[in-house]
């Protein structure tokens, strides 16, 4: 039987498959199909942890996902995982778990002193006590509180997370949440009309509700069999719907079975994003606790949980179960335990008479009608239960080893609430229900106020027919399977709290008592949501499923208003804790974000390149894996003295065609393109509508109505979107076609005084003389036999060309150029050398086009066309953008050339080092000047050329004397590019 408390065969456990596990160092045995909680209870282990604030001993309270107390640390190969729910955690062989929040041991806990000092730890205690002095929070209070409070322990996970997860996108017509009788009946009805149905339930078994009632076994089996025959119904067990996000979108967390976990490489969880047209919420109800003194002693649990442990796992939660209940449904546990030979020492019910009480009396069970439990004897386990009458007078003391309570059932309406449905108070069940708009779906079963199995099945089917009708289908009622009739029941008598000496908890996980709620109310936190935040009631991982409404009712009593006037807590997603790994899904490690690779990526790698991430692109930084600037300087020297080649395929490229192509470009560029001759390129700048610089690049006219726009690497996407947006909104009348050809063309810059010779060798047919192919010329040409394009443009400031070929032929062209340049000393150069060269030349990139600069700031004011409309024209002229003291682009060099420059260094006047006049945007060691060169944005910078400033980099402890120079550190007359 595996465990002394295992008294019967469980419906989920396999007596032939024992499993070993370890809890707090004790070796124990359970069965396949057990949860950790059922296996612990089977071994008679009721004490499972210490509470959050008072460190009181706690045991398991529920048999499911709403469990407030049964949280444990799981010790696995990957380390310690805190806050695992023992009531849902499937037992597996070799599982090792530890109780939480106890020090040094579960039975003797030093911090339990908090409990004795509890008069000093009222609600809001942390707010009130640890307020001042301010310094003490970080140094004293927070470490202290963290040690004393908190649940579980976090350990740094080193290396990969051991448990990968994945995200799956699901679609269907209807999502049915909850696979009790109502959910099963709804899915069957919907499925038989041909609708695509997703049926999700957090339990490992579908139909877990009727599973508890033997008379319903036949109905459950027949319904599951008929669902299995419907290919359009997908049943998802172990799948908790975590949140409703509107527009038919739901998030759900699936816990994989051991078998499927193996198939998916150890995957434990799967996040499902579900999109449907309608939803049926049949998620049932949660049994609620009653607040009475000692309602947290290990062994006090919900009556329904005792029934579940008996039926599902064959475990008796005690040998002497006393009951404190106020509703007939809760008596099912009493009857089931009695049938299994477990006799109750007595039942306490505040009602005077009911159908169930009559049936209990007939079994010879001692009834205490019109009574309440006023105290529980025992600290680490239940010993006795004190019975008092409704007036508080002592009536009896029952010997007991557990106390099974039920304060009624609170419909689970969290998802409906998230979908905007207001809670509606139902006096008959003393709880809130909810209704959905027809366009969203339907609520069935408990959340609809329906109790009783047969009634629930009928309600589920009716909801399904209504939804089918909404979706335009006429659903016939299915010939009803034989359903056992519901027993006659008497309505509950609402009871929320028993006022007697001692702590009566409304939130067992966050240790909130009924007295705390009253204190919050007295101190002005009368609104439910304020009380919640002040006391932390309902803010724990269980979201107050067992005691949330009880706390609200205590508040209502304190305010002397009905519960309906206080309302219910609004649980937001997620309905239960979800591991971050599940949210990340498959987008981790190498799949964390896409990498864009150059057509020649493999060549660069073989050539010894170090790569750098530039946006999503991987670009060669330098063809060396040795740290330092030497290789960069060598690459740059090759360009300045002979010839070099670099891969600039990352540049954004947009093919622009159509009769209005030139007009569009005149609108989006600040300078003019309609006047550009065919076969010529022009540098252009784009502004944002607010007048600031957006992007720059070279645009070439390939034909009368055909242009090729290039953008910076970073802005390739945004520029295309900018053009598309304006073309479809502001300038809808223009006939222009835009096509992104960024990936189509590999592009190389061939730069240096010997570049013409190299190019001539690979393009024999083209006249490359200054007359035949002047600066800013462009032409179609075959490069080493590959049809491509050649542009005479320069970023380095040298005589230079850019060569574009279709990307799949990139290697042919690249190798041909390298071969042709071999005797001239050609070198490939990376992003660092490219940056060095452009800084020396004073060309700008994203560091200067940083969203704060204007054309004038960067010395390009004359490019703005004087006439005609263009984006940014009007606002570029506003006062703030033309002020003479704006930051302007200049060059900087250190007076002491041994000193390095840094991007971000603040520039100040020698006489006043407290006021920043600007900062260095780009810097690099130079091959043309000794030491470093930099570009900077300096207030009124152009007027300061020739002067000196001081650079401060306090994070590096550096002070640098700088001279302000022209941004064009080399060839300011621009003769080289025309050589």
CB of 322 to other proteins, least distance (A): 49
Stretch that binds other proteins, among 218-226, 592-600, 823-831, 956-964 (CB under 8 A): 592-600
How many other CB atoms are there within 10 angstroms of residue 726's CB atom?
A: 17
737 near other proteins, rule: CB under 8 A: yes
Which string of x and - marks every residue 623-662 that binds other proteins (by CB under 8 A)? --------------------------------x-xxx---
- Residue 690 binds other proteins (CB under 8 A): yes
Q: Does 743 bind other proteins (CB under 8 A)?
A: yes
746 counts as binding other proteins under rule CB under 8 A:
yes
SS3 per residue for 316-351: CCCCCEEEEECCCCCHHHHHHHHHCCCCCCCEEECC
* 439 contacts other proteins (rule: CB under 8 A): yes
Q: Which is nearer to other proteins, 41 or 746 (CB)?
A: 746
Are the C-beta atoms of residues 842 and 969 closer than 8 Å to each other?
yes
Count of C-beta atoms within a 10 Å radius of residue 961: 13
Residue 401's contacts (CB-CB under 8 Å, 6 or more residues apart) are 299, 318, 319, 320, 321, 381, 382, 383
Residue 579 in the binding site for other proteins (CB under 8 A): no
Residue 143, number of CB atoms within 10 A of its CB: 11
- Which sign, positive or negative, has the C-alpha torsion 128, 130, 132, 134? negative
| 883 part of the interface to other proteins, by CB under 8 A | no
Q: Which of 116, 139, 169, 915 binds other proteins (CB under 8 A)?
A: 169
Contact between 249 and other proteins per CB under 8 A: yes
Length of the chain equals 979
- For residues 274 and 933, which CB has a smaller minimum distance to other proteins in the complex? 274
| 273 part of the interface to other proteins, by CB under 8 A | yes
Does the protein bind other proteins through residue 744 (CB under 8 A)? yes
Q: Which of 596, 902, 929, 942 is close enough to bind other proteins by CB under 8 A?
A: 596
Identity of the residue, 705 or 757, whose beta carbon is nearer to other proteins in the bound complex = 705
Of these, 274, 508, 670, 807, which contacts other proteins (CB under 8 A)? 807
Is residue 866 near other proteins by the rule CB under 8 A?
A: no
Helix axis angle, 514-522 to 528-535, nearest 10°? 120
Closer residue to other proteins (CB): 249 or 678: 249
List beta partners, residue 699.
682, 709
For residue 609, state whether it binds other proteins (rule: CB under 8 A): no
CB-nearer residue toward other proteins: 308 or 786: 786
Q: Does 729 bind other proteins (CB under 8 A)?
A: yes
For 392-429, the three-class secondary structure string (H helix, E strand, C coil) is: CCEEEEEECCEEEEECCEEECCHHHHHCCCCCEEECCC
Nearest distance from C-beta of residue 190 to other proteins, angstroms: 16
Minimum Å distance from CB 206 to other proteins?
A: 21
| Closest distance to other proteins from the beta carbon of 192 (Å) | 17
DSSP states along 362-384:
HTT--EEETEEEEEEE-SSS--E
CA dihedral 871, 874, 877, 879 (to 10 degrees): -120
Contact 85, 36 (CB under 8 A): no
Measured from the CB of residue 783, what is the shortest distance to other proteins in angstroms?
Answer: 11
The DSSP line for 884-938 is TTSEEEEEEEESSTTS---TT-EEEBTTBTTS--EEEEEEEE-SSSSSEEEEEEE
| Interface segment toward other proteins; rule CB under 8 A; list 1-9, 168-176, 422-430, 527-535 | 168-176
745 belongs to the binding site for other proteins (CB under 8 A): yes
Q: Is residue 678 close enough to count as binding other proteins by CB under 8 A?
A: no
Residue of the chain from 214, 420, 772, 851 that contacts other proteins (CB under 8 A) = 420
Three-state DSSP at 160 gives coil
Question: CA 833, 839, 840 angle in degrees (round to 5)?
Answer: 90
Query: Rule CB under 8 A: is residue 875 a binding residue for other proteins?
Result: yes
168 contacts other proteins (rule: CB under 8 A) = yes
Rg, Å, the chain Cα set: 38
Least distance CB 705 / other proteins (angstroms)? 9
Does position 389 interact with other proteins (CB under 8 A)? The reply is no
List, in sequence order, the alpha helices (H) in 483-629.
514-522, 528-535, 548-559, 563-566, 580-584, 601-606
Task: Name the residue nearer to other proteins (CB basis): 42 or 600.
Answer: 600
Instruction: Specify the residue for token string 């069970």.
Output: 365
User: Coil, helix or strand for 31?
Assistant: strand
422 binds other proteins (CB under 8 A): no
Smallest gap from residue 706 Cβ to other proteins (A)? 8
Tokens encoding 287: 């049994």
> Could you say which residues in the range 196-225 bind other proteins, by CB under 8 A?
196
> Could you say whether residue 559 binds other proteins (CB under 8 A)?
no
Q: Considering the complex, state which of residue 659 and residue 884 has its C-beta at the smaller distance from other proteins.
A: 659
Binding of residue 566 to other proteins (CB under 8 A) = no
Strand 617-622 to strand 596-597: parallel, antiparallel, or no bridges (unpaired)?
parallel
Under the criterion CB under 8 A, does residue 161 sit at the interface with other proteins? no
CB nearer to other proteins: give 166 or 856.
166
Which phi and psi angles does 281 have, rounded to 5°?
A: -95, 110
Site membership for other proteins, residue 561 (CB under 8 A): no
Pairing state of beta strands 371-377 and 384-389?
Answer: antiparallel
d(CA 812, CA 817): 9
Among 22, 80, 275, 865, binds other proteins (CB under 8 A): 275
Q: Could you give the 3-state DSSP secondary structure of residue 710? A: strand
Pairing of strands 617-622, 610-614: antiparallel
Q: Which stretch binds other proteins (CB under 8 A): 35-43, 718-726, 760-768, 841-849?
A: 718-726
Place of tokens 């947290």: 296
Strand, helix or coil for residue 797: coil
Cis before 574 (ω within 30):
yes
Q: Is 278 in the site for other proteins (CB under 8 A)?
A: no
Residue 718 tokens, joined = 């945004």
Binder to other proteins among 343, 809, 865, 968 (CB under 8 A)? 809
Size of residue set near other proteins by CB under 8 A: 70
Nearest approach in angstroms of CB 471 to other proteins is 15
Binding-site member from 131, 565, 874, 895 for other proteins (CB under 8 A): 874
The residue written with tokens 């045991």 in the block is: 59
Show the beta-strand stretches assigned E in 447-514: 505-507, 512-513
Query: Judged by CB under 8 A, which of 298, 548, 599, 941 binds other proteins?
Result: 599
Which of 264, 852, 885, 930 touches other proteins by CB under 8 A?
Answer: 264
Min dist CB 840 to other proteins, Å, is 30
Instruction: Using the minimum distance from each CB to other proteins, give the nearer residue, 672 or 924.
Output: 672
User: Measured from the CB of residue 730, what is the shortest distance to other proteins in angstroms?
Assistant: 5
Phi and psi torsions of 231, nearest 5°: -65, -20
689 binds other proteins (CB under 8 A): yes
Q: Which is nearer to other proteins, 437 or 883 (CB)?
A: 437
Q: Which residue reads 């919900």 in tokens?
A: 302
The only residue of 248, 284, 314, 828 in contact with other proteins, by rule CB under 8 A:
248
Is 110 or 874 the residue whose CB approaches other proteins more closely?
Answer: 874
Q: Which residues contribute to the site for other proteins (CB under 8 A)?
A: 166-171, 196, 245-249, 263-265, 267, 273, 275, 420, 437, 439, 586-587, 590-591, 593-599, 616-617, 655, 657-659, 689-690, 721, 724-725, 728-730, 732, 735, 737, 739-746, 786-787, 806-809, 868-869, 873-875, 877-878
């Amino acid at each position: 039987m595996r465990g002394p408390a295992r008294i019967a065969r469980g419906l989920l456990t396999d007596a032939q498959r024992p499993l070993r596990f370890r809890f707090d160092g004790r070796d124990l045995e359970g069965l396949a199909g057990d949860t950790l909680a059922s296996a612990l209870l089977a071994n008679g282990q009721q004490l499972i942890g210490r509470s959050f604030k008072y460190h009181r001993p706690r045991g398991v309270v529920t048999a499911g996902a709403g469990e407030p107390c049964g949280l444990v640390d799981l010790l696995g190969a990957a380390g310690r995982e805190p806050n695992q729910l023992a009531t849902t955690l499937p037992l597996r062989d070799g599982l090792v778990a530890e109780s939480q929040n106890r020090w040094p041991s579960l039975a003797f806990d030093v911090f339990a002193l908090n409990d004795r000092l509890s008069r000093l730890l009222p609600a809001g205690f942390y707010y009130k006590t640890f307020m001042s002095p301010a310094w003490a929070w970080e140094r004293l209070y927070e470490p202290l509180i963290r040690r004393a409070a908190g649940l579980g322990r976090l350990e740094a996970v080193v290396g990969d997370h051991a448990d990968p997860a994945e995200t799956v996108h699901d679609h269907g017509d209807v999502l049915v949440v909850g696979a009790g009788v109502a959910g099963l009946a709804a899915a069957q009805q919907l499925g038989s009309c041909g609708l695509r149905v997703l049926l999700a339930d957090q339990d490992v078994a579908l139909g877990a509700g009727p599973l508890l009632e033997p008379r319903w076994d036949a109905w459950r089996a027949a319904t599951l069999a008929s669902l299995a025959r419907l290919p359009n119904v997908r049943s998802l067990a172990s799948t908790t719907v975590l949140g409703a996000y509107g527009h038919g979108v739901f998030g759900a967390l699936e816990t994989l079975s051991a078998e499927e976990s193996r198939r998916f490489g150890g995957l434990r969880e799967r996040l499902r994003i579900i999109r449907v047209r309608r939803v049926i919420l049949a998620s049932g109800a949660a049994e609620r606790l009653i607040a009475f003194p000692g309602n947290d002693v290990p062994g006090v649990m919900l009556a329904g949980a005792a029934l579940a442990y008996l039926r599902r796992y064959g475990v008796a939660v005690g040998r002497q179960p006393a009951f404190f209940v106020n509703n007939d449904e809760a008596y099912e546990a009493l009857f089931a335990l009695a049938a299994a030979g477990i006799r109750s020492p007595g039942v306490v019910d505040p009602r005077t008479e009911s159908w169930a009480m009559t049936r209990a009396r007939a079994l010879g069970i001692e009834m205490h009608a019109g009574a309440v439990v006023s105290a529980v004897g025992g600290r680490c386990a239940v010993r006795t239960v004190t019975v008092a009458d409704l007036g508080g007078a002592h009536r009896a003391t029952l010997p007991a080893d557990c106390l099974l309570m039920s304060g009624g059932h609170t419909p689970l309406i969290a998802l409906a609430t998230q979908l905007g449905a207001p809670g509606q108070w139902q006096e008959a069940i003393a709880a809130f229900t909810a209704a959905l708009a027809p366009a969203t779906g339907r609520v069935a079963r408990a959340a609809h106020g329906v109790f009783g199995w047969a009634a629930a099945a009928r309600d589920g089917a009716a909801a399904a027919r209504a939804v089918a009708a909404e979706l335009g289908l006429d659903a016939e009622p299915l010939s009803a399977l034989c359903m056992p009739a519901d027993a006659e029941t008497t309505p509950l008598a609402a009871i929320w709290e028993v006022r007697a000496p001692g702590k009566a908890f409304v939130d067992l996980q966050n240790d909130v008592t009924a007295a705390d709620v009253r204190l919050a109310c007295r101190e002005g936190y009368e609104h439910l949501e304020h009380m919640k935040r002040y006391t932390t009631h309902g803010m724990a991982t269980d979201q107050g499923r067992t005691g949330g409404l009880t706390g609200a009712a205590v508040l209502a009593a304190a305010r002397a208003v009905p519960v309906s006037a206080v309302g219910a807590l609004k649980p937001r997603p997620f309905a239960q804790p979800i591991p971050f790994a599940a949210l990340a899904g498959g987008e981790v490690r190498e799949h964390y974000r896409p990498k864009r690779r150059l057509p020649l990526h493999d060549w660069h790698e073989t050539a010894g390149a170090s790569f750098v991430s530039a946006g999503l692109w991987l670009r060669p930084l330098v063809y060396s894996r040795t740290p330092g600037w030497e290789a960069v300087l060598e690459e740059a020297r090759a360009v300045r003295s002979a010839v070099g080649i670099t891969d600039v395929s990352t540049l954004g490229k947009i093919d622009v065609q159509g009769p209005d192509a030139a007009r569009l470009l005149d609108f989006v560029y600040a300078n003019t393109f309609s006047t550009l001759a065919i076969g010529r390129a022009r540098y252009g700048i784009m502004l944002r509508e607010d007048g600031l610089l957006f992007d720059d690049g070279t645009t070439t006219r390939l034909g009368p109505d055909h242009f090729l726009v290039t953008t910076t690497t970073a802005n390739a996407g945004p520029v295309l979107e900018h053009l598309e947006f304006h073309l479809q909104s502001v300038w809808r009348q223009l006939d222009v076609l835009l096509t992104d050809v960024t990936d189509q063309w590999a592009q190389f810059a061939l730069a240096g005084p010997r570049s013409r010779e190299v190019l001539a060798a690979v393009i024999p047919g083209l006249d490359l003389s200054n007359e035949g192919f002047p600066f800013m010329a462009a032409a179609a040409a075959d490069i080493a036999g590959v049809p491509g394009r050649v542009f005479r443009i320069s970023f380095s400031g040298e005589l230079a060309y850019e060569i574009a070929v279709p990307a799949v032929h990139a290697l042919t062209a690249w190798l041909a150029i390298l071969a042709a340049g071999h005797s001239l000393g050609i070198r490939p150069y990376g992003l660092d050398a490219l940056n060095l060269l452009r800084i020396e030349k004073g060309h700008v990139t994203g560091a200067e086009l940083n969203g704060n600069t204007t054309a004038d700031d960067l010395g390009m004011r004359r490019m703005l066309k004087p006439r005609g409309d263009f984006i940014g024209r009007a606002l570029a002229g506003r006062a703030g953008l033309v002020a003479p003291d704006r930051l302007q682009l200049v060059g900087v060099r250190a007076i002491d050339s041994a000193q390095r420059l840094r991007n971000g260094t603040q520039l100040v006047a020698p006489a006043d080092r407290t006021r920043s006049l600007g900062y260095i945007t780009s810097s690099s060691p130079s091959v043309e000047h000794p030491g470093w060169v930099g570009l900077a944005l300096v207030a009124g910078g152009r007027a300061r050329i020739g002067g000196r400033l001081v650079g401060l980099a306090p994070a590096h402890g550096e002070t640098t004397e700088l001279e302000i120079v022209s941004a064009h550190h080399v060839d300011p007359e621009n003769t080289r590019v025309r050589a």
